[in-house]
Structure formats: structure tokens, C-alpha cells
Amino acid sequence: MIKRGFAYIGIFFLYLLSLFPFWLLYIISDILYIILYYLAGYRRKVVSENLANAFPEKSEAERKTIEKKYFRYMADLMLETIKSVSMSEKQVKRRMVCTNPEIVAHYFGQGKSILAAAGHYCNWEMACLDFGFLTEHTKLIVYKPQSSEIFTNFINRTRSRFGAIMIPMRQTLRKLIEYKNELTFTVLAADQTPSREEAMYFTNFLNQPTAVFLGVEKLSTLRDCAVVFYRIDLVKRGYYTYTLVPLVENPKETKPFEITKIQVSYLEDLIRERPEYWLWSHRRWKIKPTEVAKPVFFN
């Protein structure tokens, strides 16, 4: 009961903070960056190790530059995510712009549903909001529930404010079957870390054996959805574009692991292009192939 009370108090203060104008939030972000990086040292060891393993060809000075840029952007991302709680439709459309919405009409015109692979890259939370305006057809976002049901519900209400439907990861297949007679646009985070029980498939990603989900491949093949990558780019502070990059048009014609390899390769290229915008403070490589009974490798 006490934990629930603190959770609701926390949500109330997050909402109040979200009412601050962007210019003030960015002043707070500048201060937060100093606190996170220099004073608290929040997950600096994790970020440093991840960058060293991912980019052994870079010098220590180059990786340190990326590290600082990452923490500076992470502070912005945290405040922008809070701001998304109360952003208006006008603000969202001005700050998160789709560069090629005609792709949606193209595939829907062929009678194909769309399945998008996304990464924890740039501001995926603001992208969830603008996703609601992308089409009048059913829009689904697959999510991994948080440990707190209260915060999970709070986050889902924010993400779905403009029309998207939130689906728990374990219910994805059932929901897609439920909508099998409709044209749907579904988004999945393709760089989630599987649980140890689910970690079976490994591929090389950012210079390391990496456990991956095959969700995009399995679901797109089942529904014969067009597969795109939901690419987000930072234009300037607080302003983004996103592009729907076609990856696979006919999933049923692909070989095993082909779709997964394509999406993983695209995400890796994107990260290498501008590495400071990916979620380096996440323990992405905590599961090793040696810890899995019968790992399956593909490259």
C-alpha cells in the first residue's frame, strides 16, 4: 500500500514537471547531465564497457567522447520523455515528423499489413505519440511490462494518447490473430534482451555474440506483413524525423533467420553512424552463449 502511494505521488510530480516549457526542461537537462555523469557516475562503468566491446577499433579518447555525448543526450531524453506525458497534438506533430508517410499507403494499398522493427535509438517515446497520427488503420505497439504495474499503466496511457493500442509482449501473437482480417501497423522493439529462459538464438551484433528475439521474423512470416525499420533521427535539440525504411516485402519468401539478420544489420549500421543516441546504459550483453544449454548461432 505504501509503495503504491509513493508510486502515485511520483506520477503526480512527473505530470507537474511535464507542464514545464521545453526551454526550462533543457536547462534542467543540462544540470541533470552534470549530476548523472560527473557526480553520481550513473552506470558509467556499464556504458564504458559496452562501448569498449562494441568499438575496439576506436581509441579510448574517441570512446570517451561518445560516452559524454551519450550521457548528455540521455539527460535530454529523460526530460523529453517526461514532457511527452502532456505534449499536445500540435507539439508532437511539430517535433516528430515522418519523412515518408506514403509508404504506409503503398503497403496498405496492396492489402499488406506492416510490421516495424524499432530500436531504443533517439526518442522512441515521442515517436510512439506521433505513431498515433500515421494512419486511420489499427496501430499496435508491443511493449515489455515494467516491474511496477502502476508505472506500466501510466506509461501505456501516455504512449496510447493519440490512438495506438498497447499490447503486452506475451500477447502479441494472440492479438495479431485477433486482427487478422484487418490491415494493421505493428511496432516492436527489436533490441530487447530476452530472458534467460527465452535466450536461444544468438547473432553477432556490435562485435559481440548477442541473444535476440525472432519476434519480427516469426510474426511477419505468419501474417505476411511488409517489414520496415522505424528509423528515428535527431534534427536538432527536441526535433526529430522518422523514416519507414523498407526491409522485406514478402516474408514468406525468405529463408530462416534472414529477416532477423537484415533488421539487426540495419540497426547496427545506424548505431555505428551516430552511436551516442543508442541505449548504452542497458546491460544488453548480460546473457552469454556459454550460459545457454543449446544456443543457436546465425550470422
Residue 3 has pLDDT above 80, yes or no: no
Residue 6 has pLDDT above 80, yes or no: no
CA angle 79, 84, 87 (to 5 degrees): 120
Dihedral of the CA atoms 114, 219, 202, 210 (nearest 10)?
40
Separation of alpha carbons 233 and 45, rounded Å: 27
Separation of alpha carbons 111 and 226, rounded Å: 10
pLDDT of residue 8: 82
pLDDT digits (tens, 9 = 90+) for 162-193: 999 999 988 988 888 899 899 999 999 989 88
C-alpha grid cell, residue 114: 506492416
pLDDT of residue 251: 96
Cα→Cα distances 100→71, 103, 170, 273, Å? 30, 6, 31, 21
**Percent of the chain whose pLDDT exceeds 90:** 84
pLDDT digits (tens, 9 = 90+) for 207-238: 999 999 999 999 999 999 999 999 999 999 99
Predicted confidence band of residue 294 (pLDDT cuts 50, 70, 90): confident
Residue 194 has pLDDT above 90, yes or no: no
pLDDT of residue 186: 96
Cα→Cα distances 82→3, 11, 203, Å? 21, 10, 34
Separation of alpha carbons 171 and 203, rounded Å: 25
Mean per-residue pLDDT of the chain: 94
pLDDT digits (tens, 9 = 90+) for 242-289: 999 999 999 999 999 999 999 999 999 999 999 999 999 999 999 999
Residue 16 has pLDDT above 90, yes or no: yes
pLDDT digits (tens, 9 = 90+) for 30-58: 999 999 999 999 999 999 999 999 999 99
pLDDT of residue 148: 82
Separation of alpha carbons 58 and 88, rounded Å: 42
Is pLDDT larger for residue 2 or for residue 206? 206
Domain ranges of the chain: 89-297
pLDDT of residue 4: 78
Sole residue written with cell 574517441: 62
Sole residue written with cell 549500421: 269
pLDDT of residue 2: 67
pLDDT digits (tens, 9 = 90+) for 201-213: 999 999 999 999 9
pLDDT of residue 1: 66
Predicted structure pTM score: 0.94
pLDDT of residue 264: 96
Residue 135 has pLDDT above 70, yes or no: yes
Cα→Cα distances 30→37, 38, 74, 77, 142, Å? 11, 12, 11, 12, 32
Separation of alpha carbons 243 and 232, rounded Å: 7
pLDDT of residue 79: 97
Nearest CA among 129, 121, 258, 294 for reference residue 192: 121
**Percent of the chain whose pLDDT exceeds 70:** 99
